[in-house]
Amino acid sequence: MAEHVPDSPPDAPTLSQLFLAFLAISLSGFGGTLPWAYRMVVEKRRWMSAAEFSEVFSLCQFLPGANVVNFSVVFGSRMRGIRGALVCFFGLVGPPFGIVLLLGALYARFADVEALGRVLAGMAAAACGLIAATAAKLAEPLVRSRAFWGWGIVLAAFLAIGLIGWPLPWVLLGLAPLSIALAWWERR
Amino acid sequence: MKPGILATLATHFLVLSMLAFGGANAVIPEIHRDAVAVSHWMTDQQFADLFAISQASPGPNILIVTLVGYQVAGVAGALVTTAAMCGPPCLFVYFAGRVWNRFRHARWRILVQAGLVPVSIGLIAAAAMVLARAADHNWVAVLVTVATAALAYTTRIHPLWMFAGAGLLGLAGLV
């Protein structure tokens, strides 16, 4: 199990330690798993320094995909190569996949129970609020930076997708190059 | 079950996974547009319900695609959408992780990221809007959304408490 992988550190965690750590991260994370990943990997187990964490995390944010899922793959591969990556990924995604599947089956079975519908209506209203708060937190550095072009891009993306309902590929194709050009123009 | 549906799900979510700059939340409006308006896989209300379930479950928020897949094509659908949504980004990040230090401080890399950040923020704000239009049918629901947003933004109260409160208001027939 703990077979040595050439490019992994000699005191790297074993595959089962990795699996259990990402299982724990996954099951503690409601509405955002990132803080739990940081607590586990940096503060509790000290498998990475804070600087290494932010270095790896910047990659995970740079590329598309769920940040924490991306993180599990890069972190796992740094510790134990490809097998480490697979183990961390399945620890993070596998168990919640099972839970959500069970809840999905219950929903499909009991969707017409009126009381359940009412509870879910309340929870759905709250879920929208959580996403709105996430957007607001992400926007904080932008608001402080007073980069007005950035506010314009935020507004354009919000209008095009949230109010008009245009398809995402076209909106990205138009807005992403424009936004990158504006970032370049600001720092030229 | 029609065999074509799994291939359709796979194609949709493979493409979507490569557009998910800013994570799963940024592609919620596109999943909604596709599942409700274009493909008619479910109603607005069902989508809002599934989203609430995914948020109130532990794990990465990407699991909304698992629930959509399950709703459309059962366990096979759930496996297909989850694998399609995770596959390409995991492959990219696995290989990019080996060369990241070479271009991490490159000027183009920093400019691309600086440009993508406001786009993702706008998309996540749009996700809140799209979901609110699907979920909020009366002014009490709108109030619950606004109150949850304010609490989540200003306090560190665990989201499960907010779901419990909102669920109780719903059960009481107020939402």
* Predicted confidence band of residue B7 (pLDDT cuts 50, 70, 90): very high
Q: What is the mean pLDDT of residues A142-156?
A: 91
Interface pTM, i.e. ipTM: 0.92
Residues of A (100-139) whose Cβ lies below 8 Å from B: 100-101, 103-105, 107-108, 111, 115, 117-139
Into how many domains does chain A fold? 3
A5 occurs within a structural domain: no
Q: What is the pLDDT of residue B61?
A: 86
Is A99 within 8 Å of B49 when comparing Cβ atoms?
no
Domain boundaries, chain B: 4-135
Question: Looking at the structure, do residues A116 and A139 belong to the same domain, yes or no?
Answer: yes
Chain A residues near residue B168 by CB distance under 8 angstroms: 119, 122
**Looking at residue B139, what is its pLDDT?**
94
Split at pLDDT 50, 70, 90, the class of A31 is: low
Same domain, A164 and A186: yes
pLDDT at A126 over 80: yes
List the structure tokens of A181: 């050009």
CB contacts of B88 in chain A (<8 Å) are: 64-65
Find where tokens 């947003």 sit: B149
Percentage of chain B exceeding pLDDT 90: 80
* pLDDT higher than threshold 90 for residue A94: yes
Residue A7 in any domain: the answer is: no
Q: Are residues A98 and A20 in the same domain?
A: yes
C-beta of residue A126 within 8 angstroms of C-beta of residue B149: no
Residues B110-136 have a mean pLDDT of 94
Confidence bin at A169 (pLDDT 50/70/90):
very high
CB contact under 8 A, B60 and A92: yes
A52 and A130 fall within a common domain? no
Are A166 and A131 within one domain?
Answer: no
Interchain contact, B61 vs A32, CB within 8 Å? yes
* Side-chain-side CA neighbours of residue B163 (13 Å): 18
The residue range of the domain holding A59 is 15-109
pLDDT at A8: 57
Summarize the confidence of residues A165-180 as an average pLDDT: 96
The residue type found at B150 is: A
In this prediction, residue B2 has a pLDDT band, given cuts at 50, 70 and 90, of low
Residues A80 and A49 in one domain: yes
Number of A/B CB contacts below 8 angstroms equals 376
Q: DSSP of B81-95, one letter per residue?
A: HHHHHHHHHHHHHHH
**In A, which residues are within 8 Å of B161 by CB distance?**
none
Cα separation, B79 vs B165, in Å, equals 32
What are A58-70's pLDDT values in tens digits? 899 899 999 899 9
Residue A2 pLDDT class (50, 70, 90 cuts):
very low
Chain B interface includes A81 (CB < 8 A)? no
Instruction: Report the candidate in A155, A141, A134 with the shortest Cα–Cα distance to residue B128.
Output: A134
- Which of B12, B116, B156, B160 should we substitute to test contact with A (largest number of A Cβ atoms within 10 Å)? B116
Mean pLDDT computed over every residue of chain A: 90
Using CB atoms, which residue from B30, B113, B128 is nearest to A132?
B128
Same domain, yes or no, for A52 and A105? yes
Q: Domain check: are A63 and A22 in the same one? A: yes
Neighboring chain B residues of A109 at a CB cutoff of 8 Å: none
**Residues A70 and A104 occupy one common structural domain:** yes
- The answer, yes or no, to whether residue A170 has pLDDT greater than 70, is yes
Q: How far apart are CA B13 and CA B68, in angstroms?
A: 11
Query: Which of the residues B61, B109, B162 would you substitute to probe the A interface, choosing the one with the greatest number of A C-beta atoms within 10 Å?
Result: B61
Give the number of C-alpha atoms closer than 13 A to the C-alpha of residue A188, restricted to the C-beta side.
6
A64 touches chain B (CB under 8 A): yes
Out of B28, B57, B172, name the one closest to residue A96 (CB): B57
Cα separation of A186 and B111, whole Å? 10
A53 and A94 in a single domain? The answer is yes
Task: Give me the pLDDT at residue B25, please.
Answer: 92
DSSP A60-85: HHHSSS-HHHHHHHHHHHHHHHHHHH
Report residue A180's pLDDT band, with 50, 70 and 90 as the boundaries.
Answer: very high
Find the CB nearest B89 among A64, A97, A172: A64
In a shared domain, residues A96 and A122:
no
Predicted pLDDT at A10: 62
Q: What is the pLDDT of residues B90-114, one digit of tens each?
A: 999 999 988 888 888 889 988 999 9
Distance from CA of A68 to the nearest CA of B (A): 7
Q: Are residues A28 and A99 in the same domain?
A: yes
Q: Residues of A with CB below 8 A from B153's CB?
A: 133, 136-137
pLDDT at A3: 47
**Which residue, among B120, B172, B166, has the nearest Cα to B145 in the 3D structure?**
B166
- The answer on pLDDT for B49 being more than 80 is yes
Kindly report the nearest CA distance between residue B12 and chain A, in angstroms.
12
pLDDT higher than 90, residue B119: yes
